[in-house]
Amino acid sequence: MIKTTLKSEKLFQHKTPCLVLFCSEDKKPAGELKKIDQALNGPVASAFKDKRFEGKPNQTLLLNARGSMKAENVLLVGIGKPKEVTEENLRQAAGTASSLAEASQFKKITFYLPDGELEKALTKDKKLSTGEAARAVAEGSHLALYHFHQYKSVEKGEEPSRIEEIILLSNSKSALAKLKQASERASKIAEGVCLARDLQSHPSNTATPTYLAETAKKIAAKHKIICKVLGEKEMQKLGMGSLLGVAKGSHQPPALIILEYKGGKKNEAPIAIVGKAVTFDTGGISLKPPANMHEMKMDMSGGAVTIGTLQTVASLKLPINVVGLIPSVENMPGGSAIKPGDILTSMSGKTIEVLNTDAEGRLILADALSYAARFKPRAVIDLATLTGAVIMALGNFAAGVLGNDEKLIDNLKASGALTGERLWQLPLWDEHDKETKSNIADLKNIASPGVGAGTTMGAAFLKPFAGDQPWAHLDIAGTSWGAKKPYTPKGASGFGVRLLVNFLEQEAKGGKSKSAKKHGK
């Protein structure tokens, strides 16, 4: 990760190539910004007056200090209306500033976080502490400066300019301890997100099921996580015909990766996270159209996020037990591939009529959800790039959430609101359950033509395999790739790591997040 430095200095005495100040919407500069404007002979007031800069979310104004202060340049970035500033506002603003600073070829960037002053821009029923502000800024900056260029050749002397150091500057020495704690936590979370992004971004000839398993083993050894990988023979003994059916068309062997983090009490029931990891999805015999099929390397995003989450939970040493299950296969149209009309027998004993081999994610999740019951979890959360329908419904702006437990869903939504990884609940009714019934098997993997509700039908298929345990299904097809945020680069987003880490932190404390409490949930 990029080096993070903490400093306590007077604003005009701090030497840096780029000094970032957060500005709320206002009619004219005030406080420290007013002093800077006076030193620079009024360019900020002029920008406010001409409405070239008004402090609106993610607006920027870059000024050359021209020797008026030790900072060489001052970068103003908007955070929105006074008294409505959230962590997400700051996270996005920090991402915006970092990207602009790097594009301007600065090597260092300083964020000014005056102790207590940001608390003036708060809502009446929510407080944003200096530590929370620093954490959001550090997260947004680190995440915005992520790059995946492992496969690109660069001529000597033509290496792209990169930010090498992020400085968090305070006006109070007593605030440094808060900044240190916040920046260390943010770095560990960013590392988990960037790990997930790396796994999502690797081409499928690198990131095979075996590669994911080996990566999980390395992370487990480093972070004292128990790792076990089930191969084809072990899955056959367990009767995982649904998972193995998807893998039949590929030369790549399947893997069920199991990660156990034991940070809680010895006999405390864990929370199970199940992440779909189809390392490449051609659609199988029900072949996908060629346009954008290359992006189907990201169909293992649920597994990538699960691995990133387990690493983060372990590095933060959260006092909770967590199990990560990653069913991983490649879906190919080989000579031995399953065909439309085939019937598979799942680990649960339920038979499945395969009407479309491109609805394969739910087939591998079915057996993984059945296996999760062995850990007697207090809750099960699965993540999957399951349906294109969720993109039609929610775009790239939120993931769909469905399940059988409203309290679990409410807490996940609250964590999503706090981290900016939003969830939107979709219905899961008895009528949907009925549409999963097959005439010649227990279930069919897609609904009959004309039913629609593709995202809900995917969840309805999974519901019987989740059983009676509290369960939530997150369809992250729209948010895993191409999510449009200032701290999310083009391509892989790592969506879900920060949401799940926040959720697990609240669970470790015994329940609700700040956002849930705020809304009385």
Which residues are catalytic, by number?
A: 288, 362
Distances from the Cα of 406 to the Cα of 15, 190, 384, 403, 468, angstroms: 52, 29, 20, 8, 13
Q: How far apart are CA 467 and CA 346, in angstroms?
A: 14
Q: How far apart are CA 219 and CA 139, in angstroms?
A: 21
Q: Report the largest interatomic distance among the alpha carbons of the chain, rounded to a whole angstrom.
A: 80
Q: 362 and 461 in contact (C-beta within 8 Å)?
A: yes
Q: Which amino acid is at 197?
A: R
Neighbours of 351 (CB within 10 A): 17
Which residues pair with residue 85 across a beta bridge? none
DSSP for 462-520 reads: HHHHHTTS-EEEEE-TTTSBS--BTTB-SSB--TTHHHHHHHHHHHHHTS--HHHHHTT
Euclidean distance between the first and final Cα of the chain, in Å? 37
Distances from the Cα of 260 to the Cα of 220, 346, 473, angstroms: 9, 24, 20
Nearest of 153, 379, 413, 401 to residue 271 by alpha carbon: 379
What the block records as the tokens of 98 is: 């970092």
Give the torsion sign (CA, 133, 139, 142, 144): negative
| 3-class DSSP string for 442-477 | CEECCCCCCCCCHHHHHHHHHHHHHCCCCEEEEECC
Give residue 203's Cα distance to chain centre: 20
Q: Which amino acid is at 37?
A: D
E strand or H helix at 403, and its extent? strand 399-403
Distances from the Cα of 249 to the Cα of 229, 234, 253, 281, angstroms: 21, 19, 10, 11
3-state secondary structure of 153: coil
Q: How far apart are CA 492 and CA 193, in angstroms?
A: 10
Residues 156-189, buried b or exposed e (16+ Cβ, 10 A)?
A: eeeeeeebeebbbbbbeeebeebbeebbebbbbb
